[in-house]
């Protein structure tokens, strides 16, 4: 199966060093000089392709009225593809290469958020330059799952579209697709799947704003809509019914704390196969610069995910002592612009594990009740089917 970028809805990604969109002879301000935009090869390509919409977002008419009538759109109207020509663009390939000749996952997470944002703008646009545009922000990531390693030497494409809308929320599904030329089975070509949830706010009042309706057309689109609807109801139920510990979980909590107390009170008797949760901690600090904000003046959600992933990868590497292998990002709620909790799941690369006979990952134990509850929450997240 050979990837191609012949579709009019496919946006090619090129190296950021090629100077695309910076022609000084153009009457339009170059993309690279627009204020309040975070730049990467993908965001440059997206904003160049959708420049008319984004120019209006940057400079909306003063005192423009809100959209007066909701439109009905199909998933195909928002569907967008990003094409990475890794096989022939050496500089682009080097920008995305990690030490193991795979794609830098943090950069890919950043790109997913950028593409999801553009798709949400496409769906919510009323194509009327006299109305004020909506403010669209990343509210949550339902889940991101890596299905197979992603090579940096083979062309890649990222495809996304709106699959569900509520009153003011939108769910976008994205697939990262990569197949060697000899691979003909399309079902095996999806390397990563992700679902992002955006919410719409009135750009003037800051209140929740209604979004255009969605009309699924194909059986697949209808199925995805129903699945997303069920996920939305489950999220609302979890918000209303805050999780309380059951009897069995209370016993687990006490057992975890008892093991942690041995480490704190009698470390000589502690299990050498275990480690305190706090002793696995790594942290870093960075100042978010103006270049890292999006067109609405908020810190770019993809930038946060990128930095969070690299910290999580380093933490897993130090903890295991071997090269980690990324598996998934669990549900993330973007509650505040620069303060969020991410849960990344890693395993150890099989080839790394093979170098250490009898390798075993240490058990992590809590020193406080808060840490014990966090461990129980993650244990609970590993068994979603039993809790629904």
- 171 φψ region: left (φ > 0), alpha (ψ -120 to 50), beta (else): beta
Question: pLDDT per residue over 165-188, tens digit each?
Answer: 999 999 999 999 998 765 555 556
Q: Can you give the pTM of this predicted structure?
A: 0.83
Each domain of the chain, given as residue ranges in start order, spans: 10-240, 247-387
Cα angle at 112 between 115 and 164, to 5 degrees? Answer: 70
Residues 105, 309: contact at Cβ < 8 Å?
yes
Q: Same CATH topology for 10-240 and 247-387?
A: yes
Q: Thinking of the domain 10-240, which architecture would CATH place it in?
A: Roll (3.10)
Local confidence pLDDT in tens for the 388 residues of the chain: 555 555 668 888 887 654 444 444 445 555 555 545 556 778 777 767 666 665 665 566 667 888 888 999 999 999 999 999 999 999 899 999 999 999 999 999 999 998 998 899 889 888 776 788 888 888 889 889 999 999 999 999 999 999 999 999 999 999 999 987 655 555 568 999 999 999 999 878 889 999 999 999 999 999 999 999 998 888 777 765 555 666 677 888 888 888 888 888 888 777 888 889 999 999 998 887 776 776 666 777 888 899 999 999 999 999 999 999 999 998 888 877 667 889 999 999 887 777 777 788 888 989 888 888 888 888 777 765 444 4
The CATH class, in words, for 247-387 is: alpha beta
Q: What is the pLDDT of residue 174?
A: 97
User: Helices (H), strands (E): how many in the chain?
Assistant: 11, 13
Whole-Å CA distances, 250 to 31, 378, 381, 384, 386: 56, 15, 17, 19, 18
């Amino acid at each position: 199966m050979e990837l191609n970028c012949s579709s009019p809805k496919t946006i090619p990604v090129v190296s950021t060093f090629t100077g695309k969109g910076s022609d000084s002879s153009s009457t339009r301000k170059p993309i690279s000089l627009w204020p309040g935009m975070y730049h990467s090869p993908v965001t440059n390509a997206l904003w160049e392709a959708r420049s008319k919409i984004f120019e209006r977002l940057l400079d909306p008419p003063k005192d423009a009225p809100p959209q007066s009538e909701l439109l009905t759109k199909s998933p195909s109207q928002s569907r967008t593809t990003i094409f990475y020509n890794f096989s022939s663009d050496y500089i682009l390939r080097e920008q995305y290469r990690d030490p193991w000749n795979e794609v830098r996952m943090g950069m890919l997470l950043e790109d997913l958020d950028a593409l999801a944002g553009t798709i949400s703008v496409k769906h919510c646009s009323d194509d009327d330059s006299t109305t004020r545009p909506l403010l669209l922000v990343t509210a949550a990531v339902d889940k991101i799952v890596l299905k197979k390693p992603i090579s940096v030497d083979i062309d890649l494409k990222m495809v996304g579209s709106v699959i569900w809308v509520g009153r003011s929320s939108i769910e976008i599904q994205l697939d990262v697709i990569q197949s060697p030329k000899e691979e003909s089975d399309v079902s095996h070509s999806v390397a990563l799947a992700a679902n992002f949830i955006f919410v719409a706010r009135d750009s003037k009042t800051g209140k929740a704003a209604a979004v255009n309706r969605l009309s699924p057309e194909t059986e697949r689109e209808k199925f995805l809509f129903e699945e997303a609807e069920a996920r939305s109801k489950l999220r609302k139920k979890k918000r209303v019914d805050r999780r309380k510990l059951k009897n069995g979980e209370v016993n687990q909590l006490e057992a975890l704390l008892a093991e942690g107390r041995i480490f704190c009170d009698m470390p000589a008797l502690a299990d050498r196969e275990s480690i305190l949760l706090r002793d696995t901690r790594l942290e870093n600090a960075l100042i978010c610069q103006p270049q890292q904000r999006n067109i609405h003046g908020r810190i770019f959600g993809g930038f946060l995910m990128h930095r969070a992933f690299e910290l999580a990868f380093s933490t897993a590497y130090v903890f295991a002592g071997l090269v980690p292998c990324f598996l998934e990002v669990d549900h993330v709620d973007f509650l505040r612009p620069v303060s969020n909790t991410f849960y990344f799941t890693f395993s150890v690369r099989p080839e790394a594990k093979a170098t250490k006979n009898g390798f075993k990952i240490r058990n992590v134990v809590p020193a406080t009740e808060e840490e014990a509850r966090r461990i129980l929450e993650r244990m609970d997240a590993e068994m979603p089917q039993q809790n629904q």
